[in-house]
Structure 1
Amino acid sequence: MTHTILSSPTREVVIGFDRPFVMIGERINPTGRKMLAEEMKNGDFSRVEADAL
């Protein structure tokens, strides 16, 4: 499958349909978002997916 490699000076992240879920960026930062943090802790990423779109 196709994948994409994102890199910074200190880190490299591989994303793709056959790769594990990766969170990138501040929009999905759970700090100050109690409900989002709790959902993520429980493995529910539906709100993350909605925010990402």
Structure 2
Amino acid sequence: MPIEIKELHIKINVDESSKGQKSVATFGKEEKSALIASCVEQVMDILEMREER
């Protein structure tokens, strides 16, 4: 006999206070260019895979 769930209660606690320092990554011009080039290459690969289908 299957069990049917009619209600589901979910409770979460969000702590918005900062308990530590947030680190911010800084990139140089060359690192930004390399990152952008990598992202573009991955997007182009995905688009090529979609066209093959």
TM-score normalised by length of structure 1: 0.25
Larger Rg: 2
Q: Which has the higher helix share?
A: 2
TM-score normalised by length of structure 2: 0.25
Of structures 1 and 2, the one scoring higher in RCO (CA 8 A, sep 6+) is 1
